[in-house]
Amino acid sequence: MVRILFVCMGNICRSPVAEGVFRRMLEGAGLNEKIYVDSAGTHSYHTGAPPDPRSQATALRRDIDLRDLRARRVTVADFAQFDYVLAMDRENLDHLLALCGDPGLRRRIQLFLDYAPHLPEREVPDPYYGGPNGFERVMDLIEEAAEGLLVDIRRRYRI
């Protein structure tokens, strides 16, 4: 089973949206039994909390239900357990690289938008302090990168 971990700062805005978007894609492709998806935050500010209500509302408008998700902090064990550890921005990428003690596992850590090279953005911006348009843009970016990620997984694992 291929294992994917999406990571942002608090695990209440971007990474749970990515988890929800990718799960929906996997269900549509009939791959939800072959690929495991989770999300986490680099900080523990919101551990145990559901996704931000604005993220939930944005996702629901696209028929993605996030209400059962709960925030957690990334752990050192995650680097060995997940095949892909995908950071939403460079700050979180740097935090993950510093936390990962095993140089051999660092290759699993990368920016999520690396899977959408056609986009001008290289990072998924944090919408927390912004308005509804920011949450919509985050959703758009995540959907684009999720498509590229699925193509990569299918090619790499021949599934």
Our answer to whether residue 90 is catalytic in this structure is: no
The reported pTM is 0.98
Q: Which two tokens stand for residue 22?
A: 């990718």
pLDDT on residue 104: 94
What interhelical angle do 14-29 and 132-157 show, nearest 10? 50
Query: Using one digit for the tens of pLDDT, what is the confidence trace for 84-131?
Result: 999 999 999 999 999 998 999 999 999 999 999 999 999 999 999 999
From 38, 52, 78, 126, the catalytic residue: 126
pLDDT over 90, % of the chain: 99
CA 74, 121, 82: angle at the middle one, nearest 5? 25
pLDDT on residue 76: 97
pLDDT on residue 45: 94
Our answer to whether residue 126 is catalytic in this structure is: yes
Q: Using CA atoms, how far apart are residues 57 and 66, in angstroms rounded to an integer?
A: 9
Query: Using one digit for the tens of pLDDT, what is the confidence trace for 12-71?
Result: 999 999 999 999 999 999 999 999 999 999 999 999 999 999 999 999 999 999 999 999
Our answer to whether residue 8 is catalytic in this structure is: yes
Give the DSSP letter string of 14-53. HHHHHHHHHHHHHHHHT-TTTEEEEEEESS-TTTTPPPPH
pLDDT on residue 101: 87
From 8, 23, 72, 78, the catalytic residue: 8
How many structural domains comprise the chain?
Answer: 1
Range of the structural domain that residue 45 is part of: 2-157
From 13, 14, 23, 100, the catalytic residue: 14
